[in-house]
């Protein structure tokens, strides 16, 4: 292993993670400085719907494709969304496994599993780029950041896929690219749309609290 690869796997990643955490803390403080917005109204709706239940329902909403018409009618979209995000998790986990627990990758099963997840996420990333650039609606919605973030992740998946076996027999370019991309990704995230997962718990919390209090969540259908 070259010194540069070692640096990229360790020091660079640690700095990038520290940067990410710091910026995220600042971001959460910024967010919490806005007023929470109260609700004085007495509860409406069915007696068994409460703010607490609404919050949990809201958080879990994404795992219930039947809960929203948008996911119910686009089940394939929901499945690819799920795999894509599992791929992100696997790729991040890989960036920690390679430097701190490489022994895990000696298992052929683990390698295959990671490659299937990340490889599928890569393919989904490609289809999403096509969808975003090719669809009239998606094109109208998209900003340069949307395209860049998606392309960044897809390319990152590609190199993560190649890096899963953690082999340098045929050179270390793929590993080096993967770790450099990971570091860039970690540092770029707080300023891009990818930071949505930081806001997700808050946005869903407040929506769930309101709609739970008002008896709308959990959504009833007839």
Partner 1 sequence: MSQKKERSQKAEKVIERMGQKLNRQIVGSLTACVHCGMCTESCHYVLANPGDPTYAPAYKADKIRKLFKRHYDWTGRVIPWWVKADSVWTEEDLEELKDTVFGKCTNCRRCTLNCPMGVDYATFNRMARGLLVSVGVQPEGVAVVSKDQWELGNQMGVLKEDYLDTLEWMEEELQDELEDPSVAIPVDKSDCTVMYAINPREVKYDPRSIADAAKIFHAAGESWTMPSEGWDQTNFGLFSGDDALGGSVARRLYEKVIELNASRLVISECGHGYRSTRCEGPNWAAFDIPFEMESSVLTMLRYIREGRIKVDKSRNTQLVTFHDSCNNARSCGLFEEPRELLNLVCENFQEMYPNRAENYCCTGGGGAMSMSEYTPNRLKSGVVKADQLKETGAEVVVTSCHNCVDGLSDVIRHYELGIEVTQLVNLVANALVIEEKIVVPVEEVVPVEEVVPVEEVVPVEEVVPVEEVVPVEEVPVEVAVEEVPVEVAGGEVPEVVSADAMSLAGRVIVVADDEPDQVEFLATVLEDHGATIYRAATGDEALELARREKPDLLTLDLHMPGRDVGEVFEMLREDPELEELKVCVITGRPELRKLIYDRSVRPPEGYLDKPVDEERLLLNVRKILELAD
Q: Using CB under 8 A, list all residues that contact partner 1.
A: 31-32, 34-42, 44-46, 49, 58, 61-62, 68-71, 73-74, 77, 81, 135-146, 191-193, 195-196, 199-200, 202-204, 206-208, 210-211, 214-216, 219-222
- Of the pair 156, 161, the CB lying nearest partner 1 is at 156
- Of the pair 7, 31, the CB lying nearest partner 1 is at 31
- Of the pair 96, 219, the CB lying nearest partner 1 is at 219
Task: Please compute, for residue 217, the number of CA atoms within 13 A of its CA located in the half-sphere on the CB side.
Answer: 23
Report the greatest alpha carbon distance in the chain: 67
- Of the pair 162, 216, the CB lying nearest partner 1 is at 216
Q: How far is the CB of 72 from partner 1 (least distance, A)?
A: 10
Q: How far is the CB of 136 from partner 1 (least distance, A)?
A: 6
Q: How far is the CB of 137 from partner 1 (least distance, A)?
A: 5
166: left (phi over 0), alpha (psi -120 to 50) or beta: left
Residue 155's Cβ-count burial label (10 Å; 0-12, 13-18, 19+) is middle
**Other beta carbons less than 10 A from residue 201's beta carbon:** 12
Q: How far is the CB of 73 from partner 1 (least distance, A)?
A: 7
Check if the beta carbon of residue 149 is closer than 8 Å to that of residue 121: no
What is 63-114 written as a DSSP string?
A: G-TTTSHHHHTTHHHHHHHHHHHHHHHHHHHHHHHHHH-GGGGGSHHHHHHH
Q: How far is the CB of 67 from partner 1 (least distance, A)?
A: 9
- Of the pair 108, 140, the CB lying nearest partner 1 is at 140
Token duo for residue 127: 């289809």
């Amino acid at each position: 292993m070259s010194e540069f690869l070692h640096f990229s796997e360790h020091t660079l990643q640690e700095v990038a993670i520290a940067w990410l955490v710091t910026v995220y803390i600042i971001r959460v403080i910024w967010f919490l400085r806005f007023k929470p917005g109260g609700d004085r109204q007495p509860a409406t709706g069915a007696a068994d719907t409460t703010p607490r239940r609404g919050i949990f329902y809201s958080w879990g909403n994404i795992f219930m494709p039947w809960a929203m018409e948008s996911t119910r009618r686009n089940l394939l979209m929901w499945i690819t969304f799920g795999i894509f995000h599992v791929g992100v998790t696997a790729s991040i986990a890989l960036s920690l496994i390679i430097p701190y627990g490489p022994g895990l990758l000696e298992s052929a099963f683990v390698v295959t599993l990671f490659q299937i997840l990340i490889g599928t996420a890569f393919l989904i990333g490609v289809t999403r780029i096509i969808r975003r650039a090719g669809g009239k609606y998606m094109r109208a919605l998209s900003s340069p950041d949307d395209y860049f973030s998606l392309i960044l992740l897809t390319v990152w998946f590609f190199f993560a896929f190649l890096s899963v076996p953690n082999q340098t027999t045929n050179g270390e370019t793929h590993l080096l690219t993967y770790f450099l991309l990971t570091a860039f990704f970690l540092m770029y995230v707080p300023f891009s749309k990818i930071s949505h997962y930081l806001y997700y718990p808050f946005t869903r919390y407040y929506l769930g609290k309101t709609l739970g209090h008002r008896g709308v969540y959990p959504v009833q259908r007839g």
